[in-house]
Structure 1
Amino acid sequence: MSETDTALGYEQARDELIDVVRRLEAGGTSLEESLALWERGEELAKVCRHWLEGARARLDSALAAREADEAREAGEAREGGGSA
């Protein structure tokens, strides 16, 4: 990915990728233009994948932290409940 691509937000990359796909599906471009569009589409797909993988990692981390908090609270409740 180029520095320009990594600066793109997910929505920007997705929207540009949609445009690239539409242009390829419409046809009417030369072979060279089609190849350039395809290459751009591949780069944009990488940008989108990068953002989505980062989002998945953040969600996984948040879920793991929540589960750890819940387990700790359950352990504290058991310890506190048994001493009465």
Structure 2
Amino acid sequence: METYQCAEWESKQKEAAAATMAYLVGVLADNDYVAGGRFSAADITTFAGLAFADLAKVEIPQSHENLQAWHSRLANRPPISG
């Protein structure tokens, strides 16, 4: 495991995650899913990216209600929820 960690890189990545989540809020304001009206690989990829962000202690802000709702819907899909 690496012992050196670059705090500046971490900070930039958290900024990128926040910007991406803000973008997704806009996308999901007009669509049920990331790429439109149907569940697709874009949703799977986005869900996985948010899972990695969560591991890094970057959570979806409560103010991003439609992103929270989308995430909850996907988390409850049988292939994801088990």
Q: Where on the TM-score scale, by shorter chain, does this alignment land: which range?
A: 0.3 to 0.5
Flag the structure with higher helix content: 1
TM-score (norm 1): 0.35
TM-score calculated relative to the size of structure 2? 0.36
Higher relative contact order (CA 8 A, sep 6+): 1
